[in-house]
Amino acid sequence: FDKWTDGQRRRILVDLLERCSLSQRKFCAKQLQDRVPTEALDFTTRLPRVLSLYIFSFLDPQSLCRCAQVSWYWKYLSELDQLWMRKCLRFGWYINFSPTPFEQGIWKKHYIEMVKDLQVTRPKTPSKDEFVVIDVQPVRSNIPEANLFVPGRRTNKEKKELPPWRSPDKNPTDTIRFNYLNNYDPIEQARQA
């Protein structure tokens, strides 16, 4: 067996397993399960719940909502009030009642309601009456067409300059954004800016 190739060993093992009874296959499966390391193991099921909650506490609200879509256990962990209460209290958002022990997810619901009140999630679109369309008339001039500036055409001396909204920097630093869906403290973020 030591001198055989990998393909030869696999064929012999398949033949042996096909000839085994169900109890012998279960025995082989148990032996392999003990010796083969498990892959893609859910860490939240192996760690104590306190440690799993500690890891989840570093996530921002948007990531916590994504974690709730992974599995039932992750949904249970990511909607616990211990996680969402800290995120609400950071912005000074308190609830005006004391929830019973049977009410779950009160702080998450409160966080979502407060964010909706801030209208952070969707910008206000202007109504049709607010849109103004100006009548545009062509301008006539006495300059020959060869000397006219055409926006699409560049001269050899001009270097293409990007407008400010299309700068090569993917992360602009000249804007201050208060995104309540991140874990950043808005006061500290304003000081840094």
| pLDDT tens for the chain, residues 1 to 193 | 888 899 999 999 999 999 999 999 999 888 888 777 767 778 888 889 899 999 998 988 888 889 889 889 999 999 888 888 888 888 888 888 777 777 788 888 888 888 877 765 455 666 666 666 566 666 665 655 555 555 555 555 555 665 555 556 666 565 555 555 666 666 676 677 6
Q: What is the pLDDT of residue 89?
A: 86
Considering the domain architecture, whether residues 51 and 99 belong to the same structural domain is answered as yes
Residue 141 lies in a domain: no
Considering the domain architecture, whether residues 50 and 104 belong to the same structural domain is answered as yes
Residue 150 lies in a domain: no
Considering the domain architecture, whether residues 19 and 79 belong to the same structural domain is answered as no
Residue 10 lies in a domain: yes
Residue 89 lies in a domain: yes
Considering the domain architecture, whether residues 14 and 69 belong to the same structural domain is answered as no
Q: What is the pLDDT of residue 110?
A: 87
Do 104 and 81 touch, CB atoms closer than 8 A? Answer: yes
- Long-range contacts of 30-36, Cβ-Cβ distance < 8 Å, separation of 24 or more: none
Residue 68 lies in a domain: yes
Considering the domain architecture, whether residues 26 and 49 belong to the same structural domain is answered as no
Considering the domain architecture, whether residues 85 and 29 belong to the same structural domain is answered as no
Number of domain units in the chain: 2
- Domain span at residue 21 reads 4-33
Residue 79 lies in a domain: yes
Residue 162 lies in a domain: no
Q: What is the pLDDT of residue 24?
A: 92
Domain final residue pick, 70, 89, 116:
116
Considering the domain architecture, whether residues 54 and 100 belong to the same structural domain is answered as yes
Considering the domain architecture, whether residues 16 and 50 belong to the same structural domain is answered as no
Residue 103 lies in a domain: yes
Q: What is the pLDDT of residue 164?
A: 54
